[in-house]
Amino acid sequence: MLTLANFRIRFPEFNLVPDVRVQMYLDDAVPFTTNPPLKFSIAPSQDIAQGFVAAHWLVTLPQYDLGGNLITLAVGSSAISAKIKVGQIDIEDSSSSGATAGNSDYFKEFNASIYGKRYLEILRTYAQSVNTLTSTTKYVPTKVGSIL
C-alpha cells in the first residue's frame, strides 16, 4: 500500500492538498488495485497504480483546503489533459465475464486524466500477461503407465 509520504514524493504537484484528503483518496483507491475486483494481480505495480488512482481523483474532483477554500492545483498540461482522448484502452481480465476497462462504466472515468490513463496502462499490461498465459498454456492428458 502506498503511504502518504511516498505519494507526496512521487506526486509533488499535490502538496497543497491537505494530508487528510490525500489519505482518503489513497484509501479509496485500494479496491481498484487489488484482486478482487480485478480478477488478476497487479502486485508488483500495486503501489504506483494506487497513486495514479488517487492522483486521478485529485485532479478530476474539486479540491478544498481545510478552511473550505477551493484549491487551484499547479498541474500543467504535461501532467493532465482531461479533454484529450488518446484512444480506446481495452483491458480484459482473466475471466470471460469480467469487466473490460475503458469500455465499461466501472473504468470509463479513468480516461479523463493522464493519471487515470496511466492506471489503465498498468491494468492493460497485467491483463495481457494473464491472457497470454491462459491462452497459450494447454493441459495435455497422458495415460498412466504409458511409455513415450
Residue 75: predicted pLDDT:
58
* Spatial separation of the C-alpha atoms in residues 93 and 48, rounded to whole Å: 19
Each residue's pLDDT expressed in tens, for the chain with a length of 148 residues: 899 999 999 999 999 889 999 999 999 999 989 875 677 788 889 999 999 999 999 998 888 877 888 877 755 433 333 322 333 334 333 222 333 444 456 678 888 899 999 999 998 888 877 665 444 444 444 444 544 4
Query: Distance between CA 99 and CA 80 in Å, rounded?
Result: 26
How many C-beta atoms lie closer than 10 Å to residue 128's C-beta? 13
